[in-house]
Chain A
Amino acid sequence: MPLHFELVTPAKLVRSEDVHMVVVPGTEGEFGVLEGHAPFMSTIADGALKVYRTENGAPEEIRITGGFAEVGDAGLTVLAEHVSE
């Protein structure tokens, strides 16, 4: 089962897609989010999100600053103030 991942900035919706896993640099340590993760909210340190589209593929890195992550039933939503791909 894929994980629904959304990356939103104030200016636009950057990503809205289904991926395998996303590794998020939380302020209290990195965490990976897979499908079916428990509801969770965390602030994000400035750094790179690692998006794994497939289980064994190479991750795609998206650098974000001023981020916030929310995991709910709908998947992972990352709110970021600035994004550079």
Chain B
Amino acid sequence: MASLKELKGRINSVKSTQKITKAKQMVAAAKLRKAQAAAEAARPYAQRLAEVMGSLSSKITVSENSPKLLAGTGSDQVHLLVVANSDKGLCGAFNSNIVRAARAKAIELEAAGKTVLFYLIGRKGRAVIRREYPKQIAHMFDTTDVREPGFNEAERVADELVAMYEAGKFDVAHLFYSKFRSALVQEPTSQQIIPVPAPKAAAVQADAVTEYEPDEEEILAALLPRYLKTQLFGALLENAASEQGASMTAMDNATRNAGDLIKKLTIVYNRTRQAAITTELVEIIAGAEAL
């Protein structure tokens, strides 16, 4: 049995761990509200753009002359997996869930004889993928110097992706991130982003003849990179909200576990203390009787 001093030390160390997890939980709760508001605010733009893209793509037919971002390169040999992670830990299985989804996809693609490359956003998840696929990391996008990934980051990522795509470095890109369902549920999601999957066309009004300036195809070509940016931005926002949600849940669990542990240790401590007192008393009584 551990000595009283040791037990006291352990109780104190668990208590200070609990303080940290509790603080992180409250921080995550506050940040979650902010992240949700940001995701909410981004919705009108994404929605409108998707509507416009839908009505445009319903008007033109995809041919070889269509922009490459829409029509594809004509092959699907090289797949790029864009994996969006967070920069900070303390959020439970959030990052490993995303990485696991990406790895499952990579294994599936490699089994089909395709080449797989990785594009990593965020610091977490690098280590795992670097260990598994050391030579297949195309780029690691650093977000450690910004507090919240915003539209500027999405824009930079999209620009780099388009440049790589146009240089013929890959044929298909998939995006991996975590969709925010609720503070308790985050869903690792994969989504094809290049070639751009045409959004479902909204119901076309037959009587309204819309004029285009310049023509439909040029507008579509101009909008495709923007649509990509919006999708990436949406994914980053969902990821941010998911991270805080996961962090909140994980830290709540940790705080509760620490509480249970403290209770158990306190009981052991008290028992040990009583046992020590009893032993002392027995010794004194035995001594007195011997006289």
Contact = CB atoms under 8 A, between A and B. Distances in A.
A35 B218 CA distance: 27
Q: What band does the interface of chain B fall in when counting residues whose beta carbon is under 8 Å from A?
A: 20 to 34
B1 interface: no
B29 interface: no
B210 A41 contact: yes
Interface residues of A, number: 23
Interface in A31-47: 38-43
Contacts of A77: 48
Interface string B136-156: 000000000000001100110
Contact of A12 (B41, B209, B212): B41
A71 to B, nearest CB: 8
B14 interface: no
A8 B43 CA distance: 10
Contacts of B52: 41, 68, 70, 79
A70 B41 contact: no
A28 B213 contact: yes
A17 interface: no
Given A10-B46, A77-B48, A41 B212 contact: yes
A2 interface: no
Overall SS of chain A's interface: strand
Nearest to A27: B214
A11 B41 contact: yes
A65 B259 CA distance: 54
B208 A72 contact: yes
Contact of A10 (B219, B222, B223, B233): B233
A28 B214 contact: yes
B211 interface: yes
A79 B42 contact: no
Contacts of B209: 38-39
A8 B229 contact: no
Given A11-B41, A11-B151, A81-B151, A43 B46 contact: no
B262 interface: no
A26 interface: yes
Contacts of B155: 81
A73 B208 contact: yes
Interface of A: 8-13, 26-28, 38-43, 66, 68, 70, 72-73, 77, 79, 81
